[in-house]
Amino acid sequence: MSEADQPAIEARGLVKRYGRITAVDEVDLTVSPGDVYGYLGPNGAGKTTTLRMALGLIRPDAGNVKLFGRDPLVEGVRALDGVAGFVEAPRFYPYLSGRRNLELVAALDGDGAAARIDEALDIVELADRARDRVGGYSHGMRQRLGLAGALLRDPRLLILDEPATGLDPAGMRDMRRLIRRLADQGMTVLLSSHLMGEVEELCDRVVILGRGRVRYEGSLEDLMTTTGGYYELRTTDDARAARIARVQPGIGDVSDGGARGLTFAGDEHAATALSIALGEAGVGIAALVPRTATLEELFLRMTEEHVELTDDEGSRIADGERLEVRT
Amino acid sequence: MTAGAASAPRVARGSSRRRPGVATVYAWELRKLRAQKRTYLGLGAAALVPLIFVIALLSSSGGPDEVPFGNLVRETGLAVPLVGLLFSSVWLFPLITALVAGDIVAAEDNHGTLKTILTRSAERWQIFAGKLLAALSYAFVALVVFIGVGLLAGGAFWGFDPLTSLSGTPISSGRGMALIAASGLAYFVPMMAIAAVALLLSTVTHNSAAAVVGTLILSFMMQLLAIISGLDWLRPYLLSEQFDAWQGLLRDPVDWAPIVHAVWVSALYAVPAVAWAFVSFVRRDVAG
């Protein structure tokens, strides 16, 4: 397989332990060229550890990760050709100016990276502060300088760990636009983020990590439309309807929404069965409206309740089948 | 940010990519040193101590008669840096050397910049080699500053009259200058070992203060061991003792034995320390 056909990132059976804690547990990950890939998980889920292994900063205890078919542990920094990014907050020398810092990393990149400094500074709008020491930069400015440093490598794969952290709303919007623009130009992006709106806006595929394990990997669209469907229900007797719903097979998470009626989780088949049961009980249905779960709801349910899709469920999602999320 | 200004990604280069070498890393380590205050602290001390020594000699009639060349410090400026070297092996040069060598890796940990430089196109061994060379260069420059300032200050007040060798024979001014330079090189040998130890501590502790203080403690401990009479057999193998090897150059004829001894004893300390530091640096997990 030529390099152009290789996945941008391919991790197989990746494991990293710190003492008795398994930070990353058998993670498989495939990021194809051109993907804008969301990497989600709560704090401590193992996201940053995975990214560090991808960039060759730490060694996995088992498994391997390849970038365009090249393993950083085997090929060293040659595996990072065409790859750039940062994990956690980008760090620079506080006693050097922004421009000096970029000159330094460009020197360590070689291959004409220094010629791209002005362009990178313009892109992140730091040209007017480039001669100031980084020690005086705000967090947001350092984030932007980190992105500028990444762009110097002229990457095909951009790995960004919480790039919008510390940016003001306008800065976050601009960062999203820039990532979108880079992706539209063909750059593969792995975006680790806590901002669900950012992920929904930018990403076409996501992996959700919980306690070091992959809870979901696949297209964002499939995840949003096929898992965890919620319904809103208004009836002539909501209290009685709630009692019936709670004992109905396939119905879960029944909650009283007050004037807006009830909400419950369930698939289409269960909702149909419930409507029949309500009719038989003499409860009139004023409205039964499917409500797609937000990414944040799905994220929280998968990571807080440790929902794990089985391989079979995962493949059914890929086939577009509606599933009930089991807790 | 000007999202619209982002240019299209260029075609990524493969193995034909022009990569930086150790020289590039070394040059940037020197630039970083030039931008840090602590660099000038050590160099300032290296310049100030011989000046203070000369002022002390000018302000009193007593002298360090009990040490080699001590009786000559008011007769020729050539003796001033040599006497200064004797006194400075106790704390000044271990401190100056450790100040940078003990910080050069640990500071990257403190700033979190290791991940920045290790995810570029320079191999880890190149980064390590650049840092080692920069730390040694700094120690060498400090030594040159010390000897140079001592020579100039001593010469300004007492001229550059001929020296008398430790064997009692006269040494011309020109040959004396050359022997001072050679003595500096011999003095630099144990300094390299000190730098290696400091670099090791810097690499494994990830803490600048621990590395600098640890190196100084090690240096003081060796000096302490050297004055314990029951440990006479150990003295020739102590690093602190190798700082006096240069005196062999100022005998007539030149006694190379202490120089050769200092080289291999210093290597006994330096080679394992550098090897350990290298392996640790190249294989370490960068999690900070």
Categorize the per-residue pLDDT at A226 as very low, low, confident or very high, splitting at 50, 70 and 90: low
Q: Is residue A306 part of a domain?
A: no
Question: Which residues, 6 or more positions from A288, have their beta carbon under 8 angstroms from its beta carbon?
Answer: A231, A232, A233, A271, A275
Mean pLDDT of A42-61: 91
Q: Is residue A316 part of a domain?
A: no
User: Amino acid identity of A289?
Assistant: V
Q: Cα(first)–Cα(last) distance of chain B, in Å? A: 28
CB contact under 8 A, B111 and A76: no
Which one of B32, B103, B121, B123 would you mutate to disrupt binding with A, by most A Cβ within 10 Å of its Cβ? B121
pLDDT in tens, B50-106: 999 999 999 988 778 788 998 888 999 999 999 999 999 888 999 999 999 999 999
Categorize the per-residue pLDDT at B256 as very low, low, confident or very high, splitting at 50, 70 and 90: very high
B227 touches A at CB < 8 Å: no
CB contact under 8 A, B36 and A95: yes
pLDDT in tens, A255-288: 876 777 888 888 889 999 999 999 999 999 999 9
Residue among A196, A322, A203 at smallest CA distance from A268:
A322
Strands (E), A46-187: 62-67, 83-86, 157-161
Q: Is residue A305 part of a domain?
A: no
Residues A104 and A77 placed together within one structural domain of the fold: yes
- Comparing alpha-carbon positions, the chain A residue that sits nearest to B116 is A91
CB contact under 8 A, A96 and B19: no
Residue B131, min C-alpha distance to chain A (Å): 13
B282 touches A at CB < 8 Å: no
- Comparing alpha-carbon positions, the chain A residue that sits nearest to B6 is A123
CB contact under 8 A, A154 and B36: no
Residues A164 and A248 placed together within one structural domain of the fold: no
Q: Are B94 and B262 in contact, with CB atoms under 8 Å apart?
A: no
Q: Is residue A167 part of a domain?
A: yes
Residues A22 and A145 placed together within one structural domain of the fold: yes
CB contact under 8 A, B122 and A91: no
| Backbone φ and ψ of B141, nearest 5° | -60, -40
- Comparing alpha-carbon positions, the chain B residue that sits nearest to A122 is B2
User: Amino acid identity of A45?
Assistant: A
Residues A204 and A235 placed together within one structural domain of the fold: no
Which one of A59, A78, A111 has the shortest CB-CB distance to B285?
Answer: A59
CA distance B118 to B112: 11
Q: Taking 60 as the threshold, does the pLDDT of residue A31 lie above it?
A: yes
Contacts of B32 in chain A (CB under 8 A): 93, 95-96, 104
CB contact under 8 A, B9 and A154: yes
CA distance A198 to A195: 5
Residues A238 and A178 placed together within one structural domain of the fold: no
Q: Are A31 and A6 in contact, with CB atoms under 8 Å apart?
A: no
Give the pLDDT score at A253: 83
CB contact under 8 A, A175 and B10: no
Question: Which residues, 6 or more positions from A152, have their beta carbon under 8 angstroms from its beta carbon?
Answer: A84, A102, A105, A106, A109, A113, A114, A116, A117, A120
- Comparing alpha-carbon positions, the chain B residue that sits nearest to A146 is B116
Inter-chain contacts counted by CB atoms under 8 A, chains A and B: 154
Q: Is residue A322 part of a domain?
A: no
Q: Is residue A206 part of a domain?
A: yes
Which one of B17, B36, B287 has the shortest CB-CB distance to A52?
Answer: B287
Contacts of B33 in chain A (CB under 8 A): none
Residue B35, min C-alpha distance to chain A (Å): 7
CB contact under 8 A, A181 and B15: no
Residues A90 and A45 placed together within one structural domain of the fold: yes
Complex ipTM above 0.85? yes
Contacts of A81 in chain B (CB under 8 A): 12-15, 17, 121
- Comparing alpha-carbon positions, the chain A residue that sits nearest to B5 is A123
pLDDT in tens, B109-130: 999 999 999 999 999 999 999 9
Structure tokens at A133: 């020491």
pLDDT in tens, B196-227: 999 999 999 999 999 999 999 999 999 999 99
- CATH number assigned to the domain comprising residue A36: 3.40.50.300
Contacts of A180 in chain B (CB under 8 A): 3
Q: Taking 60 as the threshold, does the pLDDT of residue A314 lie above it?
A: no
Within 10 angstroms of residue A18's Cβ, the number of other Cβ atoms is 13
Q: Is residue A272 part of a domain?
A: yes
A205-210/A36-40 β-pairing:
parallel
Give the pLDDT score at A228: 55
CA distance B262 to B194: 13
Which one of A3, A73, A78, A91 would you mutate to disrupt binding with B, by most B Cβ within 10 Å of its Cβ? A91
Q: Exposed, middle or buried by CB within 10 Å (0-12, 13-18, 19+), for A170?
A: exposed
Residues A209 and A275 placed together within one structural domain of the fold: no
Q: Taking 50 as the threshold, does the pLDDT of residue B2 lie above it?
A: yes
Residues A205 and A239 placed together within one structural domain of the fold: no
Residues A274 and A189 placed together within one structural domain of the fold: no
Residue A140, min C-alpha distance to chain B (Å): 11
Out of A221-225, A261-265, A285-289, A304-308, least confident range: A304-308
Q: Are B70 and B153 in contact, with CB atoms under 8 Å apart?
A: no
DSSP string, B30-50: HHHHHT-HHHHHHHHHHHHHH
Residues A25 and A86 placed together within one structural domain of the fold: yes
Residues A165 and A29 placed together within one structural domain of the fold: yes
B283 touches A at CB < 8 Å: yes
Overall domain count for chain A: 2
Contacts of B37 in chain A (CB under 8 A): 95
CB contact under 8 A, A56 and B32: no
Q: Is residue A191 part of a domain?
A: yes
| Average pLDDT in chain A | 85
CB contact under 8 A, B285 and A57: yes
Contacts of B120 in chain A (CB under 8 A): 77, 80, 105, 108-109, 153
Categorize the per-residue pLDDT at B1 as very low, low, confident or very high, splitting at 50, 70 and 90: low
CB contact under 8 A, B24 and A108: yes
CA distance B17 to B273: 34
Residues A108 and A163 placed together within one structural domain of the fold: yes
pLDDT in tens, A137-162: 998 899 999 999 999 999 999 999 98
Domain boundary assignment for chain B: 25-283
Question: Which residues, 6 or more positions from B206, have their beta carbon under 8 angstroms from its beta carbon?
Answer: B105, B106, B109, B110, B288
CB contact under 8 A, A81 and B13: yes
Mean pLDDT of B151-172: 94
Q: A273 is in which domain, residue-wise? A: 230-291
Within 10 angstroms of residue A322's Cβ, the number of other Cβ atoms is 14
